[in-house]
Amino acid sequence: MKSTEMVARETDVLIIGGGFAGSWAALRAAELGARVILVDKAYVSRSGASTLSGGITTCPLDSDDIDVWAEEFITRGGYMCDQRWTYQLLEGQRARVKDYESWGVPISRDAEGNIRRFASRGMINVRGMQYQPKVAMRELRRRVLDLGVVILDRVCVTELITSDGQWPTSGSVAGAVGFNVHDGQFIVMRAKRTIIATGMIAMKGTHRVDNDTGDGVAMAFRAGARLVDMEFTFGGTFNVLMKRYDFPSYNVAIAHGARLINARGERFMEAIDPVRLERGELSQVVAAFAKQMIDGNGPVYIDLRHVDDTYWSDMAKIHRGGSILMSEHVPDPRVHPLPIEPTWGMWASGRSGLQIDLQGRTNIPGLLAAGSAAKNDATGTHASAGSPTAFCNVSGWHAGECAARESLEDQLPPTPTHVFNELREAAFAPLGKPVHEKSADALHDDLARLEASVVDGMVLSGDRLQAMLEVTRDVARLSGEIAAMDLHDLVKIHEARNVAECAGAVYQSGLDRHESREQFFREDYPMTDPSWFCWHGIRRGRDGVIMERLPFPTEGVRFPIRNLDSGLGRIGAIIRGETPKGGAP
Amino acid sequence: MTVDATTKIEIDPLTCTGCGLCILSCPADVIRLDEAAHKAVVAYGKDCQVCYLCEDDCPEHSITLSHDISNSRRFSTYDQFGLKI
Ligand SMILES: Cc1cc2nc3c(=O)[nH]c(=O)nc-3n(C[C@H](O)[C@H](O)[C@H](O)COP(=O)(O)OP(=O)(O)OC[C@H]3O[C@@H](n4cnc5c(N)ncnc54)[C@H](O)[C@@H]3O)c2cc1C
Ligand code: SF4
Ligand code: SF4
């Protein structure tokens, strides 16, 4: 470590996290003439989930009837959304796809040169496309730099600055502080508007997005921002092949005709979702997997013998990890079905997160959010393949626009200067601590264990949620006691605290919800209770945590809201071996 | 389940030119530059998330990743249910 000297910067708009959400926000804010700082723990274009995503995104074209798509998003999500957001998402994404085309981002095309589209997972009418996310991220980096955005790579943000030096604040958010992970320089970034775009909340070592530890969500929560529907964070995908290998993309494979079969060769999704089959709502497919395991019908295999030829050609072109299928490490997938399993853990991706309005504003003045750190109100609790990245692009764009417009008419909020020294001390505190029996890695082990089993994670209960909550409290406490060996280790201690605080909010929200709904299933409350048809908020007040139930907006409703849910939800039905009836289709 | 200490990434010092591209690429801050030798070195191997970004970005093809070791804290439901695959 070279120094912990303090440098101060001032800007109109500060954006924390440079994936699709943060980069689109930076692009839009800079286009409108705002001074923008974009800060990332890693190197913008080679960090978070955006770069590593499977490359499917929702693809509405001018020829599509947006009403049909919107209706599908709204009904599949059980009407638990803001319908104005659904339209904003689809219209905004139309424009973003055109941008990618004009930038020359490689997109899979048919023989006539038209974008090749396929039904998105979970959907019948909504279409997605396959493109190269790494190239899109590289282009975004280049373009924001051209517009004069200041990118600070390798700066780990540790806390938001508040105008009153209080967390939670009664004032506003006035920027953030962090340190350079290579040289230890402490950076105070004062800003008129701050956008959280730190992506998903993932346990380290489980999802291959190890720097998305929910830092921004945790920082905003500490500052008093409202999180919603945290218990719907649970989610996952089929990404583990034969226990050891990462399967490049389940969504891509099933879009091309891959099937799931059990040890008896049965295509078990036929009984659960005869229309969409493996492309059904992901939590229901994962529940069906869990059911196969519980009933002794495992292993479950992915059968790639039926995929079309474009699968193999796209795979070779677009997915680096795709080579595992052809690497001779696994039996030839064109001949043999391969054992596969899902991960099911915390990773938000729009089903939960910071509550934002149509412009990306949170409940705290000066603070906005976008992308996977925010709750995606366009699709409710349902995340179809491709909609997470579409939401990142569009919510980023709107948050950037709002932050730029507001900041150009506003002054930098004053902050008492002692606050910066206190935040510096807090950021570096673990470097001076005596060696502890627990290491940062051990804390991450404890956290990862919480979401280890897909079967246990899917079938919850009050006792299990309480036990998991206790673990997160222990980890959060220990993160304030253990020693950091160096700056690299220091980052991991901050990350452990942040994952633990986000996970704590998830389990606390789950404990508060005395019913089962959508992908959230409690054995002790298996029925869906119509009185829970609402957003479920959690935020920190001065006297502790406040849980809230917030009604869905009725303004701008195109499809009359129906409170569909009653009776045993779909996950409960699948786990109990009954035919799913209630809940969103 | 504890973090797997096995290194999944190898950098060939004979072909590495020390250009530093892989250091930029790595989201997990695994690779650093040995300034004296002017070569990339694996500094925090156990944090590698096997994302292939460095291998893809290395102009000299000096980086090899092992397919055999996946994410470090991975847990298998097949082990939980005692299923051999
Ligand atoms: C393996 C995988 C495949 C996926 N495939 C698809 C797909 O095909 N289609 C789809 O639509 N969605 C997919 N998703 C989901 C989608 O990738 C994400 O929802 C989306 O990329 C999130 O973008 P983001 O901009 O919100 O966050 P990210 O792209 O994750 O960016 C967040 C950034 O914040 C930075 N950051 C975090 N904490 C800090 C801090 N403290 N200080 C500074 N910076 C910080 C990180 O370094 C990171 O760069 C996939 C996800 C995964 C993990
Ligand atoms: S990218 Fe390749 S050549 Fe460049 S420093 Fe890394 S290993 Fe060496
Ligand atoms: S594979 Fe990914 S995490 Fe591992 S060293 Fe390379 S870039 Fe870093």
User: Over the stretch A176-201, which tens digit does the pLDDT of each residue have?
Assistant: 999 999 999 999 999 999 999 999 99
What percent of chain B is predicted at pLDDT more than 90? 60
User: Which of A246, A289, A330 should one mutate to test binding to chain B, selecting the residue with the greatest count of B CBs within 10 A?
Assistant: A246
Is residue B78 in some structural domain? no
Evaluate if residue A1 carries a pLDDT over 90: no
CB pairs under 8 A between A and B: 115
The structural domains of chain A, with segments of one domain joined by +, span 6-233+346-407, 235-345, 429-528, 531-560
CA-nearest of A536, A469, A535, A460 to A501 is: A469
Four-CA torsion A250, A252, A256, A259, nearest 10 degrees:
0
A46, A181, A205 member nearest B72 (Cβ): A205
Evaluate if residue A425 carries a pLDDT over 60: yes
Half-sphere exposure (CA, 13 Å, Cβ side) for A537?
18
Evaluate if residue A140 carries a pLDDT over 80: yes
| CA-to-CA dists, residue A155 to A72, A176, A180, A257, B85, angstroms | 41, 11, 4, 43, 42
DSSP characters for A127-185?
EEEEB-HHHHHHHHHHHHHHTTPEEETTEEEEEEEETTS-SS-SS-EEEEEEEETTT--
pTM: 0.95
Residue B72 in contact with partner chain A when CB distance is under 8 A: yes
d(CA B72, CA B8): 10
List, for residues A477-502, the tens digit of each pLDDT value.
Answer: 999 999 999 999 999 999 999 999 99
Contact at 8 Å (CB) between A357 and A256?
no
Copy the structure tokens of residue A272: 């659960």
Mean pLDDT throughout A54-73?
94
Please, what sign has the CA dihedral across residues A24, A25, A29, A34?
A: negative
Is residue B58 in some structural domain? yes
Could you give the angle at the alpha carbon of A572 between the alpha carbons of A570 and A578, nearest 5°?
A: 80
CB contact under 8 A, B74 and A206: yes
Is residue B41 in some structural domain? yes
Mean pLDDT throughout A4-33?
96
Is residue B42 in some structural domain? yes
Q: What is the pLDDT of residue A582?
A: 56
A206, A324, A453 member nearest B77 (Cβ): A453
Name the burial class of residue A9, with classes exposed (0-12), middle (13-18) and buried (19+) by CB atoms within 10 angstroms of its CB.
Answer: middle
d(CA A483, CA A431): 6
Q: What is the pLDDT of residue A2?
A: 47
Where in A225-276 does DSSP place strands (E)?
227-228, 234-241, 245-246, 259-261
Which range, of A84-88, A334-338, B67-71, averages the lowest pLDDT? B67-71
Mean pLDDT throughout A568-572?
87
Q: What is the pLDDT of residue B71?
A: 57
Q: Is the ipTM of this complex over 0.90?
A: yes
d(CA A240, CA A292): 16
Whether A6-233+346-407 and A235-345 share one fold: the answer is: no
What is the number of structural domains in chain B? 1
d(CA A317, CA A105): 13
Residue with tokens 């290998």, as numbered in its chain: A245
Q: What is the pLDDT of residue A330?
A: 86
Res. A519 pLDDT band, cuts 50 70 90? confident
Mean pLDDT throughout A307-314?
85
Residue B20 in contact with partner chain A when CB distance is under 8 A: no
Res. A579 pLDDT band, cuts 50 70 90? confident
Cβ atoms within 10 Å, residue A95: 12
List, for residues A214-273, the tens digit of each pLDDT value.
Answer: 999 999 999 999 999 999 988 778 888 888 787 877 888 898 899 999 999 999 999 998
Q: What is the pLDDT of residue A314?
A: 74
Contact at 8 Å (CB) between A177 and A8?
no
Res. A326 pLDDT band, cuts 50 70 90? confident
Which of the listed residues A181, A212, A393 should we mutate to test ligand 1's pocket, taking the one with most ligand atoms within 8 A of CB?
Answer: A212
Q: What is the pLDDT of residue B59?
A: 97
Res. B1 pLDDT band, cuts 50 70 90? very low
List, for residues B13-58, the tens digit of each pLDDT value.
Answer: 999 999 999 999 999 999 999 999 999 999 999 899 888 899 999 9
Is residue B23 in some structural domain? yes
Q: What is the pLDDT of residue B69?
A: 59
Ligand 1 contacts CB of residue A518 (under 6 A): no
Question: What class is the A235-345 domain?
Answer: alpha beta
At B24, which CATH number?
Answer: 3.30.70.20
| CA-to-CA dists, residue A372 to A90, A194, A523, A548, angstroms | 17, 16, 28, 21
**Domain boundaries, position B29:** 2-73
Res. B73 pLDDT band, cuts 50 70 90? confident
Please report, as a single letter, which amino acid is at residue A251.
Answer: N
CB contact under 8 A, A203 and B73: yes
Please report, as a single letter, which amino acid is at residue A313.
Answer: S
Evaluate if residue A280 carries a pLDDT over 90: no
Please report, as a single letter, which amino acid is at residue A144.
Answer: V
How many Å lie between the alpha carbon of B25 and the closest alpha carbon of chain A?
A: 5
Which CATH entry fits the domain spanning A6-233+346-407: 3.90.600.10, 2.40.170.20, 3.50.50.60, 3.40.50.880? Answer: 3.50.50.60
Is residue B12 in some structural domain? yes
Residue with tokens 């990332």, as numbered in its chain: A40
Distance A211 CA to ligand 3 centre (A): 12
Res. A81 pLDDT band, cuts 50 70 90? very high
For residue B44, the ligand closest to its alpha carbon is 3
Q: What is the pLDDT of residue A115?
A: 96
What percent of chain A is predicted at pLDDT more than 90? 74
Residue B6 in contact with partner chain A when CB distance is under 8 A: no
Is residue B84 in some structural domain? no
Q: What is the pLDDT of residue B7?
A: 65
Beta bridge mates, A9: A189
Mean pLDDT throughout A380-405?
92
Mean pLDDT throughout A7-14?
97
Is residue B30 in some structural domain? yes
CB within 8 Å of chain B, chain A residues 498-517:
none
Distance A114 CA to ligand 3 centre (A): 35
Q: What is the mean pLDDT of chain A?
A: 92
Distance A430 CA to ligand 3 centre (A): 26
